[in-house]
A and B are shown apart, each in its own frame.
Chain A
């Protein structure tokens, strides 16, 4: 058996240097991994926001398009109950006066309801709904302002039908 004088062990300095190097390497790997995971999480969150936003815009546009106010009905109005837990409602869904498109929000969720069912979106905070005005006629659509993961957004959705404007607006 060949004997090596070094095999008896490392010196304290060698062990300290080794531990320091391993700590630095481990720290760098950990930082890199956590940084990467954080970046991935940010990408996933941004992607989730974009996905929710796109789905919400599509759903709102689709359902608002089914609100068809007859051209003679100047009394159709968007009713809004503003607040942290708010509610908005528009008649003439599918052209029928007593069928409504309903929007509700609160607890981080935004819900679009029609007589056929509901669709929910989250996380949606600080919601405010307003009518897109048409002078002296019923609103031509609605605007939803809200925030999602700290960023502000606004979606405009147009109704599928609107009352005829007054004669003098030419």
Chain B
């Protein structure tokens, strides 16, 4: 027996085992480092997307014309593709029919009723809200509204005391304040104001809501939900055609608004003039010049950040004090 050879084989075996262990361990460490790098790179991308979105939000808050929001505001110059490969898109998220708050009367007395699914009625929407609750996702209302109508809906918006559904306002008050007795008293006050055809202005909100103001405002407020600078032509036409508003030739008024907004951003005075109404009134409780919720998308390198941002209503008084608009991010989503 050649003992030199056998010693060599044992040594090779030991070295091979050690090498296999080392290679296995190195491969595992390598995989972990690679995974860590991918996680880190995703984290850096998330930060870049957030930072790009923050720049747009800062510009949105510094709006030089806080009384109206339109596509000619300075924030729009910050959008689109950027040199760093990211791209930004801003969209009005609240100037659409809000299935959470819309009153059955508006659906009953206008062609907005056609947005409902076959077999649904404004009454069934109210019953559905009472049973299933409210949701920020229009898909929640699939089955009540036609599938093709879902893109025309938005679950984001401030509820307007003067025009929105009484029962929705009651649920909203309860969610915001968590006080059942208070919600009952609130609904009774609302019924009394509506029976007396008393409009509650923005300046009266504090006294109307009383102690609940701090929690209920601005989700319950008195702001027009639809910005004529962004709302769909059909929504503007249908709102103007509501018989209770007494607008003469609503279709012509709607076309005048659409023609005017193609030339300039419209403000509250423009809307009154184009609608042929006084500077406050039921139609101006629906149509305004402010956008209350925005969707901002920042996209790049296969990932997308989607933010939904609420704008607090007191922008004009803040502007007079030299303050920027107050924004609250209400939803943050990374896709994929």
Contact surface of A with B, Cβ cutoff 8 Å: 33, 36-37, 40, 43-44, 47-48, 50-51, 54-55, 57-58, 65, 68, 70-75, 95-97, 136, 158, 160-162, 164-168, 170
B332 x A71 contact (CB < 8 A): no
A72 to B174, CA, bound (A): 10
Closest chain B residue to A161 by CB distance?
Answer: B331
Q: Which residues of A contact B310 (CB under 8 A)?
A: 71, 164
**Given A40-B22, A71-B310, A136-B215: A162 in contact with B330 (beta carbons within 8 A):** yes
**Which of B133, B172, B308 touches A97 (beta carbons < 8 Å)?**
B133
- Measured between alpha carbons, how far is A75 from B326 in the docked complex, in Å? 23
- Contact between B175 and A72, CB atoms less than 8 A apart: yes
| A167 and B218 contact, Cβ closer than 8 Å, known pairs A47-B28, A95-B137 | yes
Q: Once bound together, how far apart are the Cα atoms of A161 and B306, in whole Å?
A: 11
Nearest Cβ on chain B to A68's Cβ, whole angstroms: 6
Query: For the complex, what is the distance from the CA of A161 to the CA of B178, rounded to whole Å?
Result: 19
Indicate if the CB atoms of A44 and B332 lie closer than 8 Å.
no
Residues of A within 8 A of B328 (CB): 71, 164-165
A44 near B29: Cβ-Cβ < 8 Å: yes
Assess the A164–B330 pair: CB atoms within 8 A: yes
A95 contact set on B, CB distance < 8 A: 135-137
In the complex with contacts A74-B175, A96-B135, A164-B310, A47-B331 CB distance below 8 A = no
Cβ of A70 and Cβ of B39 under 8 Å apart? no
Q: Are the CB atoms of A47 and B215 closer together than 8 Å?
A: no
Contact A167 B135 (CB under 8 A): no
Q: What are 10 A-B pairs at a CB distance below 8 A?
A: A33-B14, A51-B35, A58-B39, A70-B155, A71-B331, A72-B172, A75-B178, A96-B140, A161-B332, A164-B310
Give the CA-CA distance A127 to B166 in the complex, in Å. 46
A51 close to B32 (CB less than 8 A): yes
Cα of A118 to Cα of B140 in the assembled complex, Å: 25
**Interface range for B:** 35 or more
Task: Choose from B18, B135, B217, B329 the contact partner of A70 (Cβ within 8 Å).
Answer: B135
Does B219 lie within 8 Å of A50, measured CB to CB? Answer: no
Bound Cα distance A81, B22 (Å):
44
A-B CB contacts (within 8 Å), total count: 98
Q: Indicate whether A167 sits within 8 Å of B217 (C-beta atoms), given known contacts A58-B39, A162-B330.
A: yes
**Complex Cα gap A44–B32 (Å):** 10
Q: Which of B161-180 contact A (CB under 8 A)?
A: 172, 175-178
Q: Is the CB of B25 within 8 A of A54?
A: no
Nearest residue, chain A, Cβ from B29: A47
A40-B21, A58-B42 given. 5 additional CB < 8 A pairs?
Answer: A48-B32, A51-B32, A72-B134, A167-B215, A167-B217
Q: Which residues in chain B, 104-160, are within 8 Å of chain A measured between CB atoms? A: 133-137, 140, 155-156
Q: Is the CB of A54 within 8 A of B35?
A: yes
B203-230 residues with Cβ-Cβ distance < 8 A to A are 213-215, 217-219
Chain A nearest CB, measured from B67 CB (Å):
20
Bound-state Cα–Cα, A51 to B25, Å: 13
**Is B39's CB under 8 angstroms from A47's CB?**
no
**Closest Cβ of chain A: how far from B228's Cβ, in Å?**
24
Instruction: Collect the chain B residues with CB atoms within 8 Å of residue A51's CB.
Output: 31-32, 35-36
CA distance A25 to B299 in the complex (A): 62
Q: Which residues of A contact B18 (CB under 8 A)?
A: 33, 36-37
How far apart are B224's CB and chain A's nearest CB, in angstroms? 19
Q: How far is the CA of A70 from the CA of B214 in the complex (A)?
A: 18
> Which A residues touch B245, using CB under 8 A?
none
- Which residue of B has the minimal Cβ distance to A55? B35
Q: Indicate the member of B32, B33, B214, B334 with the most A CB atoms within 10 Å.
A: B32
B145 CB → nearest A CB, Å: 17
Q: How far is the CA of A153 from the CA of B204 in the complex (A)?
A: 51
Q: What 0/1 readout, one digit per residue, does chain B (297-336) give for beta carbons within 8 Å of chain A?
A: 0000000000010100000000000000010111111100
CB contacts (< 8 Å) of B140 on chain A: these are 96
B29 in contact with A43 (CB, 8 Å): yes
Shortest CB-to-CB span from B310 to chain A, Å, is 6
Query: Out of A50, A55, A68, A164, which one reaches B218, CB within 8 Å?
Result: A164
Q: How far is the CA of A36 from the CA of B25 in the complex (A)?
A: 11
CA distance A72 to B168 in the complex (A): 12
* Residues B25 and A40 in contact, CB atoms below 8 Å apart: yes
- Provide the residues of chain A in CB contact with B218, threshold 8 Å: 164, 167
A166 pairs with B334, CB closer than 8 A: no
Is there contact, CB below 8 Å, between A160 and B217?
A: no
